[in-house]
């Protein structure tokens, strides 16, 4: 598992060119704070409260540098969103960084090990967020193929909520 530690102060000069970031978190207070801080730092930020909203936001952007996504969310989790995006656009999936306060669960560790995405452990220092955002903004942005994302949006989600099993009548 590749966790992002709270790094020391950056000593190198980083370009003032802001990046494009999608923040996906179901916790309103955390999402609002992260988005506000990133905007104050000059980044263009889109936000979503879950995976479905994230896909809808992806239909509105042309390029992205970073997708900062909460790992555990109700309905459409971070891993579900990641897998859907990875199927359609491996380049875009390479820009996922997860954040979570639950890195002790076996399921979370196994997923992060499987996909190799970094994870910013909650609670994190705002300086760590800034360093992460600036590091990703130095990379070339990934073009978002809107037609592909629109197909994903139109597709059905298998939500993580439990649904009652359908009972099939036997006999006549």
> 87-132, pLDDT tens digit by residue?
889 999 999 999 998 777 888 889 999 999 999 999 999 999 999 9
How many whole angstroms separate alpha carbon 61 and alpha carbon 17? 17
pLDDT of residue 69: 98
| CA atoms of 28 and 170, how far apart (whole Å) | 47
The more confident residue out of 16 and 126 is: 126
CATH code of the domain covering residue 45: 3.40.50.2300
- CA–CA distance, 63 with 144 (Å, rounded to integer): 5
> How confident is residue 160, by pLDDT bands cut at 50, 70 and 90?
very low
Residue 99 inside a domain? The answer is: yes
Q: Is residue 159 part of a domain?
A: no
35-to-90, 126, 150 alpha-carbon distances in Å: 25, 11, 24
Q: With respect to residue 148, please indicate whether it lies within any of the assigned structural domains.
A: yes
Whether the per-residue pLDDT at 36 is higher than 60: the answer is: yes
pLDDT of residue 81: 94
| Residue span of the structural domain in which 56 resides | 2-6+17-154
pLDDT band at residue 157 using 50, 70 and 90 as cut-offs: low
Residue 33 lies in a domain: yes
pLDDT at residue 18 in the model: 81
Residue 87 lies in a domain: yes
Domain annotation covers residue 171: no
Please state, rounded to an integer, the average pLDDT across all residues of the chain. 83
Any domain includes 89: yes
Number of domains in the chain: 1
Is residue 92 in some structural domain?
yes
Between 41 and 2, residue with greater pLDDT:
41
């Amino acid at each position: 598992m590749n966790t992002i530690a709270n790094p020391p102060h950056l000593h190198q000069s980083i370009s003032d060119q802001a990046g494009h970031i999608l923040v996906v978190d179901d916790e309103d207070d955390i999402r609002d704070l992260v988005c506000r801080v990133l905007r104050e730092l000059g980044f263009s930020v889109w936000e979503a409260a879950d995976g479905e909203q994230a896909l809808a936001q992806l239909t509105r952007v042309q390029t992205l540098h970073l997708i900062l996504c909460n790992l555990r969310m109700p309905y459409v989790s971070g891993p579900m969103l990641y897998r859907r995006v990875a199927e359609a656009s491996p380049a875009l999936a390479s820009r996922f960084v997860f954040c979570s306060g639950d890195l002790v669960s076996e399921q979370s560790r196994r997923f992060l090990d499987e996909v190799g995405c970094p994870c910013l452990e909650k609670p994190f220092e705002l300086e760590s967020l800034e360093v992460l955002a600036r590091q990703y903004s130095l990379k070339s942005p990934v073009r978002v193929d809107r037609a592909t994302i629109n197909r994903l949006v139109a597709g059905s989600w298998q939500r993580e909520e439990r649904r009652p099993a359908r009972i099939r009548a036997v006999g006549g």
